[in-house]
Amino acid sequence: MKRQKNKNIKILVVSGAVVFFLLSLITIYYAINPVDNRNHVATVNIPKGTSFLQSVDILEEAGLIKYKCLFYPLVISRNAQCHIKAGEYELATSMSPIEIIDKLVKGDIISYPVTIPEDFTVREIAVRLASFKLVDEKTFMSLSTDAKFLASLGIEGASAEGYLYPDTYLIDKSMNAKDIMKMMVNQFWKMFTPKMQKRAEDLGMTMPQIITLASLIGKESGYKDEKPLVSAVFHNRMKKRMKLQCDPTAVYDLNNFTGTITRKHLMRNTPYNTYRIDGLPPGPIANPAIDSLQAALYPAPVNYLYFVSNNDGSHQFSSNLSAHNNAVLEYQIKRKKE
């Protein structure tokens, strides 16, 4: 009886070993072979906070997993269930389950290079990011005036305007509006050095005032060599208590304004219109780059008080009203000829 019992145990052990061996072979075969031969490519997004089981469901719905009963133990055997990173992935059925798992654990996600041009406003930045489906425009705009969030970024003003540094950023869909805005503001602080802050103090200006001035300079001219001259005009006007009369300030509050600024615009009574208010507007009107920031801090040593467009992006500068009026007349004649 005892001998028969021992024999049964041996049979069970051998049978178990055979089953385990076969399952191991099946799992190994499953793990290292493509999901299928269709070479179907799918883009999947795993949002932040997605659980392991939810992630598997997302992959299965995209046609990237067959036989979840084999996929689960494979993930667990690689201790990957708690290390899948959120983000957007490009995966294909020509990949093996192990390759898919490794990509999810490494966080090999799709990044989008997004260029934010100089002197874009916060709203223009929000529109551009939304066009890549990276943010919700309204959420981004709301966040840009969130006092608590702005304070956490070291921003003194009531808006992120002026602090979202223009550059090319690699952004992925695991990032939310806060992550993106924080990245852009961090870049601003890298560019605006303590030496520049000290220079602002030496000029008797606060940092927000310098950033505001830089935004006016950037909006007035895209020419690097011209910016110190534009800066000089504004500095000289402030010293003489003259209105700055910066055209772009008159339309700052008009969303997505792209037309020609007219005399009617210049007469608008808004808090930012420097044809109506004295001195600088209450905050930046765009997000300036380093050339404009440097120009605001280091104006050219000239006595210019006026400038007018040459109709080619450059400007004619004058130190008195008579010369300026002649330059304006010359500009108007050029426009009529065109």
Per-residue pLDDT of the chain (338 residues; tens, 9 = 90+): 555 555 556 655 555 555 555 666 666 777 778 888 888 899 999 998 899 889 999 999 999 988 888 888 888 888 888 889 999 999 999 999 999 999 999 999 999 999 999 999 999 999 999 999 999 999 999 999 999 999 999 998 899 999 999 999 999 988 999 999 999 999 999 999 999 999 999 999 999 999 999 999 999 998 999 999 999 999 999 999 999 999 999 999 998 788 888 899 999 999 999 999 999 999 999 999 999 999 999 999 999 999 988 878 889 999 999 889 888 887 766 665 55
pTM of the model: 0.82
Residue 313 tokens, joined: 């992006």
For residue 35, what pLDDT is reported? Answer: 86
207-220 helix and 290-297 helix, angle to the nearest 10 degrees: 120
Residue 238 tokens, joined: 């402030």
- Beta strands (DSSP E) in 59-159 are 87-92, 111-115
Report strand pairing: 306-309 vs 87-92. unpaired
Q: Please name the residues in contact with 82: beta carbons below 8 A apart, sequence gap of 6 or more.
A: 52
For residue 326, what pLDDT is reported? Answer: 85
Check if the beta carbon of residue 231 is closer than 8 Å to that of residue 246. no
* Ranges of each domain in the chain: 28-106, 121-191, 194-304
For residue 7, what pLDDT is reported? Answer: 57
Which of 20, 26, 17, 106 minimizes the C-alpha distance to 67? 26
Residue 219 tokens, joined: 């909006």
For residue 15, what pLDDT is reported? Answer: 56
What angle is formed at CA 298 by the lines to CA 325 and CA 331, rounded to 5 degrees?
20
Distance (Å, whole) CA 98 – CA 28: 10
Identity of the residue numbered 51: S
For residue 215, what pLDDT is reported? Answer: 98
CATH of domain 28-106: 3.30.1490.480
For residue 12, what pLDDT is reported? Answer: 59
